[in-house]
Amino acid sequence: MDFIPTEVDTGQRGSEAELPVWDAIKSAFGADDLGIAYYKYPVIDKSGEDYDREPDFVVLHQELGLIVIECKGYQIDHIDTIQGQVWNLQGLTQSKAKPHPQARDQAFKIRSYFARESELTDKMGRCKIPVNVFIALPNISREEWTECGYDELPSTPRVLTSDDLSPQSLRDQLNKTPKMEALSSEEFRAARSVLGGGTVIGNEGTAAPPDPTTKGELYDTVEQRLPKLDQKQEEIGIQIPPGPQRIRGIAGSGKTILMAMKAARMHAKHPEWDIAVTFMTKSLYPQIQSLISRFYWHFAEEEPNWNKLRLLHGWGGHTVLDGMYYVLSQNTQTHEFLNVGDARARFGRFEKTPDLLDSCCGSLIESGEVPTMFDAVLIDEAQDFLPNFFKMCREALREPKRLVWAYDEAQSLNSLTAPRSENIFGTNDDGELLVDLSGSYEGGIQKSQIMRKAYRSPREVLMAAHYFGMGLKREQGAVQAITTKPGWENLGYEVVDGDFRRTGEDIRIRRPEENSPHPLSEHEEARPFVRFSAAETKREEIELIAESISQDITAHGLDPEQIMVILLDRETQENADEPTDRLDEATADDIVFNRVWDGESSVFAVDDEVTVTRINRAKGNEAAMVYISGLEHVDNVSSGQSLVRRRNQAFVAMTRTRGWCHVTGTGSCDAFDEMRSVLDGVTADEPEMVFPAPDPQSLENEMEAEPEPTTLTDFIPEEE
């Protein structure tokens, strides 16, 4: 049995009565029960007149069906009379209540979601899942209820009194509901997906072919069968923390989806709140907007109010899309907004975009004019921002400073670990952390969440990306590494052999299939998912890619927009045109290439066109087939980039794929032999990573070196 508190605010009216009931529900069901219970289930019934619009407790159980419990903290003296469905109250600010119709309507609202799914209806179109409703009265005993004669009224609802809140008594009361045929495992999974919001991101369209053979057919299985939301994702997505929260997850774990879900949930529950969702990659605008709209429709069945829920790029400006720094600057009395050009003139023409933005945010903070504008700020791609951006966002928040940020593991170029709270926000005069992420809030919402499962890329691709990105098979030794067993477990791996404390001893690491549940893994004919090819000249390398793209489209049925080419060795727009011209020349006239640097910054993929991009714009995007050109760049010491940065660019590029990844290079270099060795390990029958325990003193960066566990977060891109 799973238990998810979606919002717990001990200061809200009714919470004192609700918490004992929640504790009783958690005690009444055990590990053997197949079900899920929610505290404050996130569905809004706008037909609820002046009463609560959200059910207090919702239980879905394989044998008991759907149970909705409405909790009222009344004392027995608060109830004057009960006339039909109306409870007349006294001694309270509220004079009347309709708890049973309220709970019944909420239950039918949820049941209507089930009725939309064919797996959950019979041949007559009727929902298979029964609904039962209870009114919880934790401050009234069974004796008091009976003495007043309320149990004998013709319309009396089922009630749970204070006597029913022991584990056995509560279970006995719930078991008195009419018996039903237990849901099958498939039916329960379908119902669970509906409740968890998984159907919002479910794929529509034609079903995948039963016996796929081409890449196009195989990729259809990915589109149709990728898991919708697992229990951890659902928990994170629907919870509204009463303060700051950090979400840390591996590449492809679904953080953007969950941030959109959380924003929609907040907006549906608290339409009066001012909420901001901010991020660095401009091309995420349409994706995040679409996700929020779909989740909000699931919760409230209407479009969001985009004046109260704002999507803001990190920077923004007068002539571009709104940004967090721009909006806050515009709401000050004297602070002058700086665009990128202004910032370079003031802070240094050769500074990278993240550093420039951080300097601008620091200037706004120092002015003392950061306006208090928001009730919640959600930062996606949080690894792309430096400390002053976090501080600025926090200052812009009303109490209780509800700042939620999600890190994309292994995608930051400047800092190599997720920054500790102390390093970002600092401490007060007493040395206490201004933002304490330890433990959980009252009621059970965790302040820091870790997501170990990855869904985007097949297991072999993700393992190869980590293996190569850290340089664990590099002849000269690892570039960067996680040097503790818990650190690898935070990434979803298992250390099966070796001791990190013994430098040079072989470490053997595997990734359980359940932590990379990719549909293509079931199809042997889909392999290999990742491969490497070297060519003698750049022209030959580009022609190799061009030929493969032609085959992908003409023979394997992939759509052009499902293919991405990442030019790893091209630093400017000008020198990215040359290989793209060659791709164009080497393919048929009907294959069109979308040079993302020529288009709108908020647009990435274009229908019927193959995407060609540099690494900075690839981040945050994905494709079925990814080609990575220029692996020799990793060994190019004259590039002006650090070795760590070059390694992490390769990691980011490889993890853009949802299916296949083909890495190519020109000439010969140590990185090529290393990549071949890496692929030998991860494409074996039992994929694994074997490397000598590194000496922490020899690493460019040691991850997990600080008391607060962190994982690889290494890619801050330069904006175009």
Same domain, 540 and 490: yes
Is 390 among the domain residues? Answer: yes
The pTM of this model reads 0.86
Is 202 among the domain residues? Answer: no
Q: State phi, psi for 595 to the nearest 5 degrees.
A: -85, 100
- Residue 10 confidence (pLDDT): 60
Is 19 among the domain residues? Answer: yes
- Residue 154 confidence (pLDDT): 85
- Residue 87 confidence (pLDDT): 94
Same domain, 148 and 296: no
Same domain, 405 and 308: yes
Same domain, 525 and 561: yes
The residue from 451, 485, 515 where one domain ends is 451
- Condensed to tens digits (0 to 9), the pLDDT of residues 446-505 reads 999 988 899 999 999 999 999 999 999 999 999 988 899 998 998 899 999 999 999 999
Same domain, 255 and 183: no
Cα→Cα distances 50→54, 94, 100, 272, 659, Å: 12, 10, 14, 16, 50
- Residue 707 confidence (pLDDT): 40
If we measure between CA atoms, which residue out of 12, 112, 88, 119 comes closest to residue 56?
12
Is 157 among the domain residues? Answer: yes
- Residue 413 confidence (pLDDT): 45
Same domain, 399 and 519: no
> How many folded domains does the chain comprise?
3
Same domain, 24 and 167: yes
Residue given tokens 């330890």 in the structure block: 438
Dihedral (CA of 337, 266, 298, 271) sign: negative
Dihedral (CA of 235, 239, 243, 246) sign: positive
Task: Say how far apart CA 196 and CA 174 lie, in whole Å.
Answer: 22
Same domain, 360 and 258: yes
CATH classification at residue 367: 3.40.50.300
Q: Torsion-angle region of residue 331: left (phi > 0), alpha (psi -120 to 50) or beta?
A: alpha
Same domain, 688 and 539: yes
- Condensed to tens digits (0 to 9), the pLDDT of residues 408-463 reads 756 654 444 455 688 788 888 888 888 999 999 987 899 999 888 999 999 999 99
- Which residues of the chain have a pLDDT value below 70? 9-14, 44-53, 202-209, 226-227, 349-351, 409-420, 701, 703-720
Is 226 among the domain residues? Answer: no
The residue from 432, 451, 470 where one domain ends is 451
Same domain, 414 and 430: yes
- Residue 9 confidence (pLDDT): 67
Give me the helices (H) in 77-156, please: 99-114, 142-147
* Domain interval for residue 92: 2-196
- Residue 350 confidence (pLDDT): 66
Same domain, 476 and 405: no
Same domain, 417 and 486: no
Task: Say how far apart CA 162 and CA 178 lie, in whole Å.
Answer: 23
